[in-house]
Amino acid sequence: MPDGRTGIMAGMHALLSAFAPIWILTGIGYAVARSGLLGAQAEAVLGRFVFHVAMPAALFTMVSGSHPSAFAHPSMVAFAAATALVSALGFVVARRFFGRGRADAAISSMASGYVNSANLGIPVAVQVLGDASFVAQVILFQVLLVSPVILTLLDSGTRPGGGAAGERPGGGLRRMLTMPVRNPIIMASLLGLAVSVTGLRLPAALTHSCDLLGAAAVPTALVTLGMSLHGGPAAATGRVAGRAEVGAAVALKTLAQPLIAYAVAGPLLHLPDHQVLAVVLCSALPTAQNAFIYAREYGLDTGLARNGVVASTVVSMVTLSFATWALGPNR
């Protein structure tokens, strides 16, 4: 019994240590906005910096040094199935029950199923699982497969005319085909994948520069998120998300996704206990701040993404702790 209690306490300490930077950087962003230190346009400028510069650099570095063959692992099948199902549910709920358009529903889908795998998933995995190898696969899955789908829905849902009759024939197809060139997130991921597949060795100066830029992505995104909490308008266009809409997304993210992941990994695929724990733990991670950055960049309601990130981060402290207690080796 003492050993089990010690393991639980160690897991809780690991969770608190992982969550602390999120709250601190978000709080700094709030304080900066409240003081007016960076001016009225700081939030918008920092958001564009993350989307167009820092995040692409981070993704390029990450993908170029990866091995996409890791997707074949059975654990990834369980995680991908839970992510796909919950993301689809988030999209349908936003469309059917809250009357959202395609682009806003894509943000709801992201808030429901896109996990904070990098700055939160890695430290949690290292402390609870002992290594972050599965989290690395999750990151690649989201970058190479989930993000392009979300960005395609955002692009098609916010294009001029929204596909109306006034749009020239073939315009939608042309925008879809040229989106990798126009979207820095997808372009950086594709370039990184090309480098990974070909085994190309890049100059050290280039990789170091990308490392430096990429390191700014997460902290800047969290500071930007914190700035958005200070009284500014939650939406650039359209209506603001209500509590019921945010609650639905958070419930899907923190409850439905890990439960589905457990059902697929355990009863369906009969994976070993440590793999089931890894799948459930990663599925129980809160919504990534990328959802807020994407919503801001596309001029959509940022209230759902912003509040979803904050609320799911709070709730996930409970769900992650429960998953560790229920499925961990000290149970």
Per-residue pLDDT tens digits for 108-120: 999 999 999 877 7
User: What is the domain partition of the chain in residue ranges?
Assistant: 2-327
Note the pLDDT of residue 258.
97
pLDDT at 156 over 90: no
159-191, pLDDT tens digit by residue?
654 443 334 444 555 665 566 667 888 888 889
pLDDT of residue 193: 87
**Average pLDDT, integer, range 210-215:** 92
pLDDT of residue 199: 86
Amino acid at the residue 228: S
Q: pLDDT tens, 280-316?
A: 999 999 999 899 999 988 989 888 999 999 999 989 8
* Contact between 302 and 236 (Cβ < 8 Å): yes
% of the chain surpassing 70 pLDDT: 82
In this predicted structure, the answer to whether residue 68 has a pLDDT above a threshold of 80 is: no
What DSSP string runs through 75-117? Answer: HHHHHHHHHHHHHHHHHHHHHHTT---HHHHHHHHHHHH-B-T
Contact 143, 81 (CB under 8 A): no
Measured CA to CA, the distance from residue 148 to residue 140 in angstroms comes to: 12
Per residue in 77-102, pLDDT (tens digit) is 999 999 999 999 999 999 999 999 99
Contacts (Cβ under 8 Å, ≥6 apart) of 193:
63, 64, 68, 144
What number is the average pLDDT over the span 132-138? 83
Select the more confidently predicted residue: 229 or 130.
229
Average predicted confidence (pLDDT) for the chain: 84
Domain 2-327 = CATH 1.20.1530: yes
Residue 78: what pLDDT?
95
**pLDDT tens figures, 25-39:** 999 999 999 999 999
The pLDDT value recorded for residue 132 is 74
Q: How far is CA 22 from CA 8, 121, 248, 291, in A?
A: 22, 12, 23, 15
Distance of alpha carbon 283 from alpha carbon 279, whole angstroms: 6
**For the segment 250-278, what is each residue's pLDDT rounded down to a tens digit?**
999 999 999 999 999 999 999 999 999 99
Give pLDDT, residue 284: 94
Q: What is the pLDDT of residue 1?
A: 43
Burial 141-169 (b: 16+ CB within 10 A, else e): bbbbebbbebbbbbbbbbbeeeeeeeeee
Q: What is the pLDDT of residue 157?
A: 80
